[in-house]
Structure 1
Amino acid sequence: MKWFLLLIVSISAVFASPDWDSFKEKHHKIYKNEKEENYRKQIFLKNLKVIEEHNEKYAQGLSTYSVGVNNLADLTHEEIVFWSQGSSRRNLSVGSSPIPKFIPRDDVPESIDWRDYGVVTPIANQERCMSCWAFAIVATVESHVAIYEGRNVSLSVQNLVDCVDPTFDCMQDLDPKALDNTYQYIIDNDGIDLIESYPNEYQTVGSCRFKRENVGATIKAYANITEGDEEELKAVVGTVGPVTVTFTTDFAWDFYHKGVYYNDDCMNTDEIFNHAAVVVGYGNEDGEDYWLVKNSWGTYFGQDGYIKMARNRDNNCGIASRARYPFM
């Protein structure tokens, strides 16, 4: 009985929940009036209850991952999806550039983490402009520049937000063609500017201010993973480099803390493929295969900005359904 009580105490310590005031202080939360603060506090308390209930299941071995309070805990899942998605609606001729077919290789490593090679740029924070597609593609291209050209570059997300679609609005949904349109834009445009010449403003500006003399990277083509093929995704990530992906998120994904995220019902929603990010590696943790995914919600999210998502579990959450990568 004593060891059981000690176990309960240790579990409680690990998942100790912050109160409302400490949450506000840690994440620098300021609300415009008392009414808004009360509204946000109720959402926070509701989210906190769900987080604690999930972590009880994790502690009992009924879940492969834990969740925790982060800087988004005063938002609903619907608000997080609305905030994070973004859109890309330019009517381009997708696939007009040559798209090489991936050639299977027999030297695919059993695990890889491209961060170990110094080719993954720091975690970004897209803030309140729904531009996950732009952050994900910029992060992917930056890594490929480092791998194949030996350069560390910081590219402009704002260049894509302003220029891929002249009617872009930070309040649109994630378009199914967002990745294709954006990669095609970089090809047709002969490059993307450096962030130092085209700073991120985290909002819709409306006018495209691209300058060819400030180009930081170009790509020759882009390719797609065969829809749903996790083995091909593994081969590309393991032997070519990071890959841009879209997938479906839910409440638990928003507040992921550690472990391997798996949701057997994540595609049963009207909001499928509601987020874009970058697969920068894969491996196995405690018997669970995972994809190492780089997010764009700052370092408060997940494991310093990263999440491990289930691999080899029937393409969970559609992670291999819409996957693209560049050729330099």
Structure 2
Amino acid sequence: MKLLLLCLLIHVPSLLASEAWDSFKKTYNKSYATAREENFRKQVFLERLKLIEEQNRKFEQGLSSFSMAINHFADLTKGELTKPSGIHASEIVEKNPSSRTSRSEDVPDSIDWRDYGVITPIADQMFCESCWAFAVVGTVEAHMGIYHQQNVSLSQQNLVDCVDLNFTCGQSLDRGMVEKTYQYIIDNNGIDTVQSYPYESYTVGTCRFSSDNVGATIAGYVNITEGDEDELKTVVGTIGPVTVVITTDYMWTSYRDGVYYNEDCMNTSEIFNHVVVIVGYGNENGEDYWLVKNSWGTWFGQEGYIKMARNRDNNCGIASIARYPIM
């Protein structure tokens, strides 16, 4: 069934709309409360399918650097998928302006920290706006592997419940949430393991942290110079993965392959609405890219990863708000 959906990438006209819709519902176990709701979602899905067909035609013709595919978000509207956070890079207040000189070794032309066995598996935040927790956890886990040779899985739910006691899963990304999260781990003397504090994809309303179950601690965090992709490359290449706040648009959410570049996904003039982890960088078919770990499960992109444009005028603001931990 998944193969049938992938075939839709190029050959949409060869399938009836109803067949495509039925295939989507079956593959992703979709069901709707009323016939009216299903009809609305079907129309959203068919519009997304049309957009994908148009984009992939451009990709085949060499007019674009990335392709798109149906995934589990294909029945959601643009507003649902790209809810603005109200954050602009220039508004971020750096509460912990730590500084740390990057290592002096030559910066490699490319790196993929997955090759070093320090990147934990792709997770799924589901329908909780908790990307910030997953991104910080993913970054700290990687640095634990690099600097302490420990493969540990940390608790996103610990952060969801405890960083901001007023946080709800339906709210937009708060200003400075990445900074608040790193500072919480510092002040709290650690973060619990996921085994002791599993993810529930909703807010419980109480913080259940236990110092007996700490899986990692950090000494501080570093703010990379806003918009500086060269500095970001140096850090990723010589120190380790980095948490970044980005702008995602409607096309980003259906990314499948290639290097994502959208001239409409501009940098600091946009409102940032998602947090991810840069785990490497390189060049593909002449296109510089950042290798980005997302938290939408393996259905998204390249088994949960996306290659985003690098050295393209800070596209999607990828270098505007970038932080990493000091272990």
Q: Give, in whole Å, the separation in 2 of the partners of 1:180 and 1:237.
A: 19
Q: Which residue of 1 aligns with 2:26?
A: 25
Q: 1:270 to 1:223 in 2, by over 3 A?
A: closer
CA offset digits 1:120-177 (Å, max 9, x no partner) = 0000000011010000000111111111111111111011011000111112211230
| Distance apart, 1:105 and its partner CA | 2.5
CA offset digits 1:175-209 (Å, max 9, x no partner) = 23011110000000000001111111100111101
CA contact under 8 A between 2:85 and 2:271: conserved in structure 1? no
Q: Secondary structure at the match of 1:170?
A: coil
The count of aligned residue pairs is: 311
Single out whichever of 235-244 and 56-65 deviates more from structure 2: 56-65
Single out whichever of 231-240 and 269-278 deviates more from structure 2: 269-278
Q: Which residue of 2 aligns with 1:293?
A: 292
| Distance apart, 1:33 and its partner CA | 2.1
Q: Secondary structure at the match of 1:32?
A: coil
CA contact under 8 A between 2:268 and 2:320: conserved in structure 1? no
Q: Give, in whole Å, the separation in 2 of the partners of 1:13 and 1:27.
A: 15
Q: Which residue of 1 aligns with 2:90?
A: none
Is 1:117 matched with 2:131?
no
Equivalent AA in structure 2 for residue 124 of structure 1: A
Q: Secondary structure at the match of 2:260?
A: coil
Q: Which residues of 2 match residues 87-236 of structure 1 at below 5 A?
A: 95-96=95-96, 99-103=98-102, 105-236=104-235
TM-score after normalising by structure 1: 0.90
Q: Which residue of 1 aligns with 2:81?
A: 80
Q: Which residue of 1 aligns with 2:44?
A: 43
CA contact under 8 A between 1:94 and 1:184: conserved in structure 2? no
CA contact under 8 A between 2:297 and 2:304: conserved in structure 1? yes
Q: Which residue of 1 aligns with 2:10?
A: 15
Equivalent AA in structure 1 for residue 162 of structure 2: C
CA RMSD of aligned residues (A): 2.2
Q: 1:29 to 1:86 in 2, by over 3 A?
A: farther
CA contact under 8 A between 1:86 and 1:129: conserved in structure 2? no
CA offset digits 1:77-106 (Å, max 9, x no partner) = 211234x9799xxxxx9635x723333634
Q: Secondary structure at the match of 2:129?
A: coil
Q: 1:323 to 1:177 in 2, by over 3 A?
A: same
CA offset digits 1:205-252 (Å, max 9, x no partner) = 111011111111000010011000000000000011100001111111
CA offset digits 1:235-284 (Å, max 9, x no partner) = 00001110000111111100001111011121389862111000000000
Q: Give, in whole Å, the separation in 2 of the partners of 1:269 and 1:38.
A: 37
TM-score after normalising by structure 2: 0.90
Q: Which residue of 2 aligns with 1:306?
A: 305
Is 1:52 matched with 2:53?
yes
Equivalent AA in structure 2 for residue 134 of structure 1: A
Q: Secondary structure at the match of 2:11?
A: coil
Equivalent AA in structure 1 for residue 314 of structure 2: N
Q: Secondary structure at the match of 2:288?
A: strand
CA contact under 8 A between 1:85 and 1:276: conserved in structure 2? no
Q: Which residue of 2 aligns with 1:6?
A: none
Single out whichever of 264-273 and 250-259 deviates more from structure 2: 264-273
Q: Give, in whole Å, the separation in 2 of the partners of 1:110 and 1:182.
A: 31
Q: 1:124 to 1:250 in 2, by over 3 A?
A: same
CA contact under 8 A between 2:45 and 2:75: conserved in structure 1? yes
Equivalent AA in structure 2 for residue 234 of structure 1: K
